[in-house]
Chains A and B, each alone.
Chain A
């Protein structure tokens, strides 16, 4: 499986996937830390976190997959939602909580 196929498989087989720098417990970047805090603030008990620093192919590949130059990147139900700025705006407006609820209901 090439990296693009592998990434597609990852985001379509897990309801909520966050590509980040570091881990949720030990984020290596302020933007990734904020993304984790927001997902936790949505009441999400667990989500799939992928540390792009662990694999240069994933770090580059995910930027190409979404055509988006930065990390973190959030995917819900296989759809690219955005980075930490978009997550923040959607959290403040309540949209992200609504989106996350639909995932919980589907599980």
Chain B
């Protein structure tokens, strides 16, 4: 599943991030019920001008829709910090 990170990065590039960090925390959750489905656990930090003026809900919705089917296939859990450049 290590190529999942590359696919996530590729899709999120669409949001023109100034900063993009994805931690693969799957190993921390190996063996728990959700991990059996094969989806990974990830922690995402993303800074993009696209988030300026958007609510927290709208930012996460944008990320979920950008990741598309990954949310129901390769990604089991995703922590998100979505910031606009002026919030750093």
Which A residues are within 8 Å of any B CB, using their own CB? 28-31, 67-70, 80, 82-86, 89-90
Contact = CB atoms under 8 A, between A and B. Distances in A.
Nearest to A87: B56
Contacts, number: 32
Contacts of B61: 67-68
Given A69-B71, A69-B72, A70-B77, A29 B60 contact: no
B71 A82 contact: no
24 contacts: A28-B33, A29-B34, A29-B77, A30-B29, A31-B79, A67-B61, A68-B60, A68-B61, A68-B64, A69-B64, A69-B71, A69-B72, A70-B71, A70-B77, A70-B78, A80-B57, A82-B60, A84-B79, A85-B60, A85-B79, A85-B81, A86-B56, A86-B60, A89-B56
Nearest to B41: A30
A69 B34 CA distance: 15
Interface residues of B, number: 15
Looking at chain A's contact residues, is the secondary structure mostly helix, strand, loop, or mixed? mixed
A31 B60 contact: no
Contacts of B80: 85
Top 10 closest pairs, chain A to chain B, by CB: A69-B71, A86-B56, A85-B80, A69-B64, A82-B57, A85-B79, A82-B56, A89-B56, A31-B77, A29-B34
